[in-house]
Chains A and B, each alone.
Chain A
Amino acid sequence: AQKITQTQPGMFVQEKEAVTLDCTYDTSDPSYGLFWYKQPSSGEMIFLIYQGSYDQQNATEGRYSLNFQKARKSANLVISASQLGDSAMYFCAMREGFGNYGQNFVFGPGTRLSVLP
């Protein structure tokens, strides 16, 4: 079964508007972490934001916030005030396993975001 689902293969957003990228996950591990990575056309994987399964508050990093709904198993990325430089592929990922040993990271298929001027 797919552990990370991203249902939006591609999305468009107008510059300066907010956009939400969807991510749902599936795990039976009580301790897990959720991540978003950005991959621009240059190809590198850039870490954006992290949410731990026990964190009470939604994670925020500048213009990025993670809308964590544990009961629904969703971890949507919200980008506020989109910029042209936000055009990229975005991957949702999940870490299973506790501590530094035995971690397993799984990735979704990605969403390609295009920001329009």
Chain B
Amino acid sequence: DAEITQSPRHKITETGRQVTLACHQTWNHNNMFWYRQDLGHGLRLIHYSYGVQDTNKGEVSDGYSVSRSNTEDLPLTLESAASSQTSVYFCASSEGEKLFFGSGTQLSVL
């Protein structure tokens, strides 16, 4: 079955380190998204991509970057991790009406 996979599921890092969260989908969807989930805020959009070589900033993009070199992958990079980036991160993809989510990555920045 097609799916969307995030790795790692859990990550602990130190402030100032670069961290990359992986997202891989096998649906061949053009649209991919990264969200962060924090209590009281729901899911907030970090970055999104509508296809290969296309990337766009969402509402909370500061300190994050993405790249889209193929259809399947949209890795999210924290250039210099900060404690404010401790959160649960969800990758998602869409084609048509539905948004499909990965299982999430719990990131702790100490």
Contacts and interface: CB of A to CB of B under 8 A. Distances in A.
Interface of A: 4, 6, 9, 33, 35, 37, 43-45, 47, 50, 52, 91, 93, 95, 100-110
B45 A106 contact: yes
A33 B97 contact: yes
Contacts, number: 59
A103 B42 contact: no
A102 B49 CA distance: 9
A88 to B, nearest CB: 14
A101 B94 CA distance: 10
B99 A35 contact: yes
A105 B88 contact: no
B42 A100 contact: no
Contacts of B31: 100-101, 103
Interface string B73-107: 00000000000000010101011111111011000
Contact of B101 (A44, A100, A106): A44
